[in-house]
Structure 1
């Protein structure tokens, strides 16, 4: 019995740890299905919540994977490829459907967006040049989940939404920089708090069922504009050495 107790206290092997991280990453696919179900049900608040949980998993699995060296200890599964597949579901497919089904882009404009966004995004996700030297993104990084969640709060006229979709689809393939609020060093002291305020605003909007709230709308609009344009401004304003 003592031997059994000692055996049960043995730590997980590196290979088992790596497999556990792969399974944690794969959980994002299940979260994507839950979000898609809520989108079919037109429950945008619950869709937002599941997408947010998937976003948290996406943020955690990378450091976990590096800490247990999954490339070495469980190389049979490509964690980067798996992450991209899940990101394509949560960042592109579900938001594109929600853009049409929510009425933000009704009729023919919605169908064009539903077909255009995945095509442009799959090309971008396959581009090996999508990262810049300062850990930003070269071109709009296909974060359509953030775009759609912000639009559900702001609810602009359909033609404004259509114009934004066109501009961002084109911006994927232009030499424009878009920041990562955590990984981009420059202005991180501002970008990270802005991203946290944006996240809090979206969470509150989902909590109240995306009901009209002028103060919340203004907060999400301002923070969204910053996150969208900060990288381009950094290109225009040279960094002091």
Structure 2
């Protein structure tokens, strides 16, 4: 099998590729994490990797003055998306992709943190999220975005209309977290303890819901990514 490369831009250690690591390796990808807190790792060629994944994190697109790395990522993605190179954004990653495509990113009507299923959109082409029908997924975000020009809305929730978008087979932005691993969820609860307390969200309830839904999402998310990778051009 010909080896391919995936670079995963990581903002915080525990928000990694999670359950997506296995299907990536099975599809022949060598995984390289790019930790944006390390200055020397941020000088990326936007077109070099066969696949670029931009992961989640506790900052937002509109925090670019406090965290200049956001501006760097938008510029990187602007070049990559213009070339239609395979790109996947998760949560913050999808928001950065939307900004790079010229869409507005802004605070949502409420924080969406917890487990709930998606409302999948009827699309002309097969919906890449079809495997998540009736599967509760993990949501963890406060911001949202307008649908970028030239992209197709593929999923919504009552709180957040623009949950996911695609552009052809190569570009996929997901506001939610399909990659979360139940076995590592305590890292999320500890790492985001301050945000949960401020939002009045119970870690006990989140832990319980993860025990109920985590395995189903891992299985569905793994299949989803494997199928998406197989369609890349």
Instruction: Report the TM range for the smaller structure's normalisation.
Output: under 0.3
More strand per residue: 1 or 2? 2
Highest Rg: 1 or 2?
1
Task: Give the TM-score, by structure 2 length.
Answer: 0.27
More helix per residue: 1 or 2? 1
